């Protein structure tokens, strides 16, 4: 069975063709990073307009890469939410039109179930129950998965998402967008112990995260930091005067490595606590921030000490992509094909806010 998938929840226009649930025949992602870079973050209106322009070429590229035509496709899957509603609508409208025109089923997918399902693209099975850490530009959530398709939220960020925090810190330092990969690269040459940034709520009896504190601590640190002449390094969030590169680059890398370590420590500690207290048998880490080298290293190390397996998707399936949505959509379709064959989908809508508990639209796959 071949599924054609469309994902437009944020600023990436993505399409994929996946056969038999996990065999990725094509995956195409058109990034809008260059458009949003000037603003240091995603501008929703620009994202929606770009999806309209990019969607058709991305769709055509996916079909060409998979060497199939539209009439070879057996079902359409699309991200229904959560995300930017105008962006989601571009994908949902196209998916409905394609499914209606071709007379084939339409499977709607929750974006976060897509991220979690990315793990099954490269691993046939994951021991259940597992704890999934979903860390991206929009989310920092912990889910307990009793079995595939059954999710219970156990923790989430109370303010910024981890990826958002990376992006905002990169913006403060005028590094570019998206900040995560840039900080990750520069931090390799820094000392993670140079500055102590706060690890919020580590001692509190909760699985929730908070990243606004480390972001504010970073800003305070920068505004108080002297340059080599003893003058203030930053005034009104801009360099004043611009320090010599030889001096600044090491300072900057130390700051970034220390920041990255603070974020990773919080993510690892809460995940480990959730695993220990729920008795889960494995850890799954997904979403754009799952690319982070410190997080990957420290999570493996910490889990190894407990004898637990850790599963990360490869980087191309951590950041937004349509193959992960296909994997989730195919699973839902296979577990209840009758539901999707009979579904009248023409009044389906996109949802900016869609709890993972609201996706139980088939009788066999449920979430709480």
**Closer residue to ligand KG4 (CB): 183 or 280:** 183
State the minimum distance, in angstroms, from the CB of residue 62 to ligand KG4. Answer: 18
Partner whose binding site includes residue 141, from Zn ion, ligand KG4, none (CB under 5 to 8 Å by kind):
none
DSSP 27-72: EEEEE-HHHHGGGTS--HHHHHHHHHHHHHHHHHHHHHHHT--GGG
Distance of CA 198 to the CA centre of its chain: 23
Q: Provide the residue count of the chain.
A: 368
**Closer residue to ligand KG4 (CB): 16 or 75:** 16
**Closer residue to ligand KG4 (CB): 181 or 190:** 181
Q: What are phi and psi of 174, to 5 degrees?
A: 55, 45
Strand (E) or helix (H) holding 340: helix 337-342
State the minimum distance, in angstroms, from the CB of residue 111 to Zn ion. Answer: 6
Question: Do the Cβ atoms of 341 and 99 come closer than 8 Å?
Answer: no
State the minimum distance, in angstroms, from the CB of residue 64 to ligand KG4. Answer: 24
Q: Which stretch binds ligand KG4 (CB under 6 A): 132-140, 300-308, 343-351, 354-362?
A: 132-140
With binding defined as CB under 6 A, does residue 104 bind ligand KG4?
A: no
Helix-then-strand count for the chain, H and E: 13, 12
Question: Do the Cβ atoms of 18 and 28 come closer than 8 Å?
Answer: no
Q: CB neighbours of 149 closer than 8 A, spacing ≥ 6?
A: 113, 331, 332, 335, 364, 365, 366, 367
Residue bearing tokens 């890469």: 65
Partner whose binding site includes residue 178, from Zn ion, ligand KG4, none (CB under 5 to 8 Å by kind):
ligand KG4
With binding defined as CB under 6 A, does residue 180 bind ligand KG4?
A: yes
With binding defined as CB under 6 A, does residue 313 bind ligand KG4?
A: no
Nearest residue to 21 via CA among 122, 126, 103: 122
Question: Do the Cβ atoms of 302 and 336 come closer than 8 Å?
Answer: no
Partner whose binding site includes residue 160, from ligand KG4, Zn ion, none (CB under 5 to 8 Å by kind):
none
With binding defined as CB under 6 A, does residue 114 bind ligand KG4?
A: no
Residue bearing tokens 């195409």: 28
With binding defined as CB under 6 A, does residue 253 bind ligand KG4?
A: no
Q: Which residues bind Zn ion (CB under 5 A)?
A: 136, 320
Partner whose binding site includes residue 181, from Zn ion, ligand KG4, none (CB under 5 to 8 Å by kind):
ligand KG4
Among 47, 267, 291, 302, which residue sits at the site for ligand KG4 (rule: CB under 6 A)?
291
**Closer residue to ligand KG4 (CB): 177 or 331:** 177
State the minimum distance, in angstroms, from the CB of residue 164 to ligand KG4. Answer: 6
Instruction: Specify the DSSP class assigned to residue 174.
Output: T
| Distance of alpha carbon 368 from alpha carbon 359, whole angstroms | 9
Instruction: Determine whether 140 is exposed, middle or buried from the number of CB atoms within 10 Å of its CB (0-12, 13-18, 19+).
Output: buried
**Closer residue to Zn ion (CB): 54 or 136:** 136
With binding defined as CB under 6 A, does residue 160 bind ligand KG4?
A: no
| Distance of alpha carbon 178 from alpha carbon 127, whole angstroms | 33
With binding defined as CB under 6 A, does residue 48 bind ligand KG4?
A: no
Q: Which stretch binds ligand KG4 (CB under 6 A): 58-66, 89-97, 99-107, 179-187?
A: 179-187
State the minimum distance, in angstroms, from the CB of residue 242 to ligand KG4. Answer: 25
Among 138, 155, 190, 213, which residue sits at the site for ligand KG4 (rule: CB under 6 A)?
138
Question: Do the Cβ atoms of 73 and 79 come closer than 8 Å?
Answer: no
State the minimum distance, in angstroms, from the CB of residue 316 to ligand KG4. Answer: 11
Neighbours of 364 (CB within 10 A): 11
3 state SS of 145: strand
**Closer residue to Zn ion (CB): 47 or 303:** 47
Among 190, 288, 313, 329, which residue sits at the site for ligand KG4 (rule: CB under 6 A)?
288
Q: Which stretch binds ligand KG4 (CB under 6 A): 31-39, 60-68, 133-141, 231-239?
A: 133-141
Chain contacts with ligand KG4 (rule: CB under 6 A): 10, 136-138, 163-164, 166-167, 178-181, 184, 287-289, 291-292, 319-320
């Amino acid at each position: 069975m071949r599924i054609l998938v469309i994902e437009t929840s944020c600023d990436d226009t993505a399409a994929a063709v996946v056969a038999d649930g996990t065999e990725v025949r094509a995956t195409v992602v058109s990034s809008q990073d260059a458009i949003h870079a000037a603003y240091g973050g995603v501008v929703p209106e620009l994202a929606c307009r770009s999806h309209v322009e990019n969607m058709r070429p991305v769709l055509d590229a996916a079909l060409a890469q998979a060497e199939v035509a539209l009439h070879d496709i057996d079902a359409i899957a699309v991200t229904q939410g959560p995300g930017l509603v105008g962006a989601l609508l571009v994908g949902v409208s196209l998916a409905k039109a394609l499914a209606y025109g071709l007379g084939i089923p339409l499977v709607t997918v929750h974006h976060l179930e897509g991220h979690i399902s990315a793990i099954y693209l490269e691993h046939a099975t994951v021991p259940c129950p597992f704890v999934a850490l979903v860390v991206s530009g929009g989310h920092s959530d912990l889910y307990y998965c009793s079995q595939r398709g059954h999710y219970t939220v156990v923790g989430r960020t109370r303010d910024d998402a981890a990826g958002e925090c990376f992006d905002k810190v990169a913006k403060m330092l005028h590094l570019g967008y998206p900040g995560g990969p840039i900080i990750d690269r520069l931090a390799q040459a820094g000392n993670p112990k140079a500055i102590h940034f706060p690890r919020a709520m580590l001692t509190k009896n909760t699985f929730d995260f908070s990243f606004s504190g480390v972001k504010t601590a970073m800003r305070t640190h920068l505004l108080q930091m002297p340059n080599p002449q003893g003058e203030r390094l930053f005034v009104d969030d801009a360099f004043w005067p611009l320090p010599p590169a030889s001096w600044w680059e090491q300072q900057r890398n130390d700051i970034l490595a220390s920041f990255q370590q603070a974020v990773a420590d919080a993510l690892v500690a809460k995940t480990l606590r959730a695993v220990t207290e729920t008795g889960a048998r494995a850890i799954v880490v997904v979403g754009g921030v799952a690319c982070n080298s410190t997080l990957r290293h420290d999570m493996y190390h910490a889990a190894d000490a407990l004898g637990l397996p850790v599963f990360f998707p490869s980087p191309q399936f951590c950041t937004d992509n349509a193959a992960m949505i296909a994997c989730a959509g195919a699973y839902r379709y296979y577990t209840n094909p009758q539901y999707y064959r009979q579904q009248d989908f023409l009044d389906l809508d996109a949802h900016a806010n869609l709890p993972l508990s609201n996706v139980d639209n088939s009788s066999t796959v449920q979430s709480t």
